[in-house]
Amino acid sequence: MKKTVDMKYISHAKKLDTYRVRVPGAGQITVRTLENAIKERDRRLNLIEKGKININPQMTFKQWFDIWLERYCTSNNPRTKEGYKEDIARSCNSLYNKKMLNIKPHHISNMLMDMAKRNLAYSTIKRTKAILCSVFSSIRDNGFIDYDRLPTEGAKLPPKTATKYISIPRRAFSAEHLEKIVDASRNFNCNGKTCKIYTAALLILTRTGLRLSELLGLCREDIVIINDEELTISINRSVHTIKNASNNGNTWIIGLTKSEKSRRTLMIKDERCVTLIRYILSLTNRPVFYEDQEYNFLFATRTGRPISKSNFTRNFVKIRKVIGSDIRIHEIRHSVATLMANNPAISYNNAAAFMGHSLNVFMHYYVHPGDDYLNSCSDAINSAFKRK
């Protein structure tokens, strides 16, 4: 007499000729043969009996990542957390619809290879895998799933040669070139108010070397006008644009400065800058609230929100096209650092403090050789030998 096969928790799709195993509390999986379906069902039932699964079957990977981010991410900087969330959102879409028990090492390996094919930086791929390791480890350590082997343990990083991402090195430009950028901002737009705002912003960037996030985070109370030629600015915060899925669009967050050294007060001695800042301060500006605190941004939109990085960059590209330049915004910071480093009247320590960096980072990343360094070095060597 033929034994009846127990089809509990197993369903057959005739058109596709596949079997779906759906065990309550253990997710679901689709296999091609009945034999594999029975084995997978029995395996999951066995895990439940041993108490190895204690997880809501409706919880997706994305929800578990948000739990890990809230509880176990050691950084208190909202910019860091949002950066992690964006990395996962861009890269792990293939994992979002899977239950935690269904994710296998090859799923993660394939996802990392897709990231390499999209020309993402190798450091981003490695960081994404490290985040996944932390997510699965926190689930196991809290007793939700007692993995015999974490899915990330068998996942392989793609070979480094698979990534085609090419990092374009930063450059330093002369003071004359920076001045041309400022002059070009005066007439790049038919709206005179917009031109004045961007001219003031570029004057601050070229006189201080601020990061763009620090510039956009300036509030009116951070500005102190001393006289017609001098003013001070206090850098206390930074503003970043993030992708917020709940709002279905771009939004902004206020974060800390990149480091403690970045919190500083700088002086600008430029009559044009003082005049333009006075004009901006005379404009009526609507304050905005962020986490129950009022902010009155210096460079703001009509609604009072800070100008987004994308909008600022879009207008900056229009400005540089006027003079046919390909300078990038962050290269203004490198240019200011190089100008100070090449000035014998300024010590390296003072220049690094002005930029909000340690001396090591300042010298290693921000100081570039000048255009005439070959001639100046050769002249110095020749003069030394002549003295002998």
pLDDT of residue 247: 41
Strand 293-295 versus strand 288-290 pairing type: antiparallel
pLDDT of residue 196: 93
pLDDT of residue 246: 42
Over the chain (388 residues), what is each successive 10-residue block's mean pLDDT?
Answer: 71 84 75 86 79 62 78 71 76 77 86 85 85 84 75 87 70 93 90 92 95 94 94 92 53 81 92 94 88 90 90 94 93 93 89 90 83 69 72
**Which string of DSSP letters, residue by residue, matches 318-341?**
HHHHHTT----HHHHHHHHHHHHH
**Which string of DSSP letters, residue by residue, matches 191-255?**
-HHHHHHHHHHHHHHHHH---HHHHHT-BGGGEEE-SSSEEEEEE--EEEEEEEGGGTEEEEEEE
Task: Please state at what angle helix 309-322 crosses helix 192-208, rounded to 10 degrees.
Answer: 90
Distance in angstroms (rounded) separating the CA atoms of residues 362 and 355: 8
Residue 365 per-residue DSSP state: I
Who contacts 279 (Cβ-Cβ below 8 Å, separation ≥6)?
A: 196, 200
Distance in angstroms (rounded) separating the CA atoms of residues 24 and 294: 49
* pTM beyond 0.85: no
Strand 249-255 versus strand 223-225 pairing type: unpaired
Residue 174 token pair? 């002369």
Distance in angstroms (rounded) separating the CA atoms of residues 190 and 235: 31
Of 71, 55, 67, which is closest to residue 103 (Cα–Cα)?
55
pLDDT of residue 14: 81
* Residue 269: Cβ within 10 Å count: 12
Of 82, 21, 325, 45, which is closest to residue 181 (Cα–Cα)?
325
Judge whether 38 and 9 are in contact, CB under 8 Å: no
For the chain, the residue count is: 388
